[in-house]
Amino acid sequence: MSIKYLHTMVRVKDLDASIAFYKLLGLVERQRKESEQGRFTLVFLCPPDMADGHADVELTYNWDGDDGLPSDSRHFGHLAYTVPDIYEMCQTLMDAGVTINRPPRDGHMAFVRSPDNVSIELLQEGEPLAPQEPWASMENTGHW
pLDDT classification of 9: cutoffs 50, 70, 90 = confident
pLDDT at 3: 53
Residue 5 has pLDDT above 90, yes or no: no
Range 7-62 classified under CATH 3.30.70.2970: no
Domain boundaries, the chain: 7-62, 79-133
The per-residue pLDDT for range 13-43, each reduced to its tens digit, is 899 999 999 999 999 999 999 999 999 999 9
The per-residue pLDDT for range 52-106, each reduced to its tens digit, is 666 678 898 999 987 777 665 555 667 888 899 999 999 999 999 999 999 999 9
The pTM of this model reads: 0.77
Active site residues: 121
State the DSSP string of the chain. Answer: -------EEEEES-HHHHHHHHHHTT-EEEEEEEETTTTEEEEEEE-GGGTTT--SEEEEEETT--TT-S---TTT-EEEEEES-HHHHHHHHHHTT--EEE--TTSSEEEEE-TT--EEEEEESSSPPPP-TTGGGPPP-S--
- Please say whether the beta carbons of 116 and 70 come within 8 A: yes
- State which CATH number among 3.30.720, 3.10.20, 1.10.357, 4.10.860 fits the domain covering 79-133: 3.30.720
pLDDT at 15: 96
Residue 34 is which amino acid?
E
